[in-house]
Amino acid sequence: MYKIAVIGDRDSVLGFKALGVSTHFAYDAERANTLIKRMAREKFAVIFITEELAEMCIETIDRYKARTIPAIIPIPSNQGSTGIGMKLLNANVEKAVGINILHNDDEGGS
Protein backbone atom coordinates (compact mmCIF):
# COMPACT_ATOMS: atom_id res chain seq x y z
CA MET A 1 0.00 0.00 0.00
CA TYR A 2 1.23 3.41 -0.88
CA LYS A 3 0.70 6.63 0.99
CA ILE A 4 -0.22 10.19 0.10
CA ALA A 5 1.43 13.24 1.61
CA VAL A 6 0.87 16.96 1.62
CA ILE A 7 3.71 19.39 2.30
CA GLY A 8 3.14 23.05 2.97
CA ASP A 9 2.68 25.75 5.54
CA ARG A 10 0.55 24.92 8.54
CA ASP A 11 -2.60 26.78 7.52
CA SER A 12 -2.73 25.36 4.01
CA VAL A 13 -2.08 21.81 5.01
CA LEU A 14 -4.02 21.34 8.23
CA GLY A 15 -7.30 20.80 6.45
CA PHE A 16 -5.96 17.76 4.63
CA LYS A 17 -5.17 16.13 7.92
CA ALA A 18 -8.88 15.64 8.51
CA LEU A 19 -9.02 13.59 5.32
CA GLY A 20 -6.52 11.09 6.61
CA VAL A 21 -3.63 12.21 4.45
CA SER A 22 -0.21 12.39 5.98
CA THR A 23 0.63 16.07 6.36
CA HIS A 24 3.96 17.74 6.94
CA PHE A 25 4.78 21.33 7.64
CA ALA A 26 7.63 23.09 5.93
CA TYR A 27 8.49 26.73 5.58
CA ASP A 28 11.87 26.76 3.86
CA ALA A 29 13.50 25.00 0.93
CA GLU A 30 15.85 22.96 3.09
CA ARG A 31 13.11 21.33 5.12
CA ALA A 32 10.98 20.72 2.03
CA ASN A 33 13.90 19.12 0.21
CA THR A 34 14.67 16.71 3.00
CA LEU A 35 10.98 15.86 3.34
CA ILE A 36 10.64 15.09 -0.37
CA LYS A 37 13.76 12.96 -0.40
CA ARG A 38 12.68 11.03 2.67
CA MET A 39 9.19 10.45 1.29
CA ALA A 40 10.51 9.26 -2.05
CA ARG A 41 12.23 6.45 -0.16
CA GLU A 42 9.25 5.66 2.04
CA LYS A 43 6.48 4.41 -0.20
CA PHE A 44 4.80 7.72 -0.83
CA ALA A 45 3.21 7.56 -4.26
CA VAL A 46 1.78 11.06 -4.42
CA ILE A 47 3.21 14.14 -2.77
CA PHE A 48 1.23 17.34 -2.97
CA ILE A 49 3.29 20.42 -2.29
CA THR A 50 2.21 24.04 -2.07
CA GLU A 51 3.28 26.15 -5.00
CA GLU A 52 5.39 28.46 -2.84
CA LEU A 53 7.49 25.53 -1.68
CA ALA A 54 7.51 23.90 -5.10
CA GLU A 55 9.08 27.02 -6.52
CA MET A 56 11.82 26.86 -3.90
CA CYS A 57 12.84 23.27 -4.45
CA ILE A 58 12.28 22.90 -8.16
CA GLU A 59 15.52 20.93 -8.66
CA THR A 60 14.46 18.21 -6.28
CA ILE A 61 11.10 17.95 -7.99
CA ASP A 62 12.75 17.72 -11.38
CA ARG A 63 14.80 14.81 -10.16
CA TYR A 64 11.71 12.67 -9.61
CA LYS A 65 9.99 13.70 -12.80
CA ALA A 66 10.98 10.73 -14.90
CA ARG A 67 10.29 8.16 -12.18
CA THR A 68 7.01 6.35 -11.93
CA ILE A 69 6.79 7.01 -8.22
CA PRO A 70 6.50 9.45 -6.48
CA ALA A 71 4.37 11.95 -8.35
CA ILE A 72 5.07 15.40 -6.96
CA ILE A 73 2.19 17.75 -7.71
CA PRO A 74 2.15 21.45 -6.90
CA ILE A 75 -1.13 22.74 -5.48
CA PRO A 76 -2.20 26.28 -4.61
CA SER A 77 -1.83 27.26 -0.96
CA ASN A 78 -4.30 29.36 0.98
CA GLN A 79 -2.74 32.48 -0.52
CA GLY A 80 -4.14 31.42 -3.86
CA SER A 81 -2.40 30.15 -6.95
CA THR A 82 0.92 31.62 -8.02
CA GLY A 83 0.70 30.03 -11.45
CA ILE A 84 3.77 27.89 -10.99
CA GLY A 85 1.75 24.71 -11.53
CA MET A 86 0.59 25.99 -14.90
CA LYS A 87 4.08 27.17 -15.69
CA LEU A 88 5.48 23.70 -15.09
CA LEU A 89 2.76 22.22 -17.27
CA ASN A 90 3.61 24.59 -20.08
CA ALA A 91 7.30 23.83 -19.65
CA ASN A 92 6.40 20.20 -20.14
CA VAL A 93 4.67 20.95 -23.41
CA GLU A 94 7.59 23.00 -24.59
CA LYS A 95 9.98 20.20 -23.72
CA ALA A 96 7.97 17.64 -25.64
CA VAL A 97 6.75 19.58 -28.62
CA GLY A 98 9.40 22.27 -28.94
CA ILE A 99 6.93 25.10 -28.87
CA ASN A 100 4.07 25.92 -26.59
CA ILE A 101 0.95 24.79 -28.39
CA LEU A 102 -1.35 25.47 -25.45
CA HIS A 103 -0.45 29.10 -25.40
CA ASN A 104 -2.95 30.04 -28.06
CA ASP A 105 -6.05 28.61 -26.47
CA ASP A 106 -4.78 30.09 -23.24
CA GLU A 107 -5.19 33.57 -24.67
CA GLY A 108 -8.36 32.71 -26.48
CA GLY A 109 -9.90 31.19 -23.39
CA SER A 110 -9.21 33.87 -20.84
| Contact with another protein (CB under 8 A) among 25, 29, 31, 76 | 76
* Gap between the Cα atoms of 7 and 49, Å rounded: 5
65-73: Cβ within 8 A, 24+ apart: 69/2, 69/45, 70/39, 70/40, 70/44, 70/45, 70/46, 71/45, 71/46, 71/47, 72/36, 72/47, 73/46, 73/47, 73/48, 73/49
Cβ 87 to another protein, closest distance in Å?
11
- Shortest CB 65 distance to another protein, Å: 5
Total of residues contacting another protein (CB under 8 A): 39
Assess 86 for contact with another protein (CB under 8 A).
Answer: yes
Query: Closest separation between CB of residue 66 and another protein, Å?
Result: 5
101: part of which helix (H) or strand (E)? none
Query: Of 30 and 89, which has the nearer Cβ to another protein?
Result: 89
| Window 26-65: residues binding another protein (CB under 8 A) | 45-46, 48, 65
Instruction: Give whichever of 30 and 48 is closer to another protein, judged by the CB atom.
Output: 48
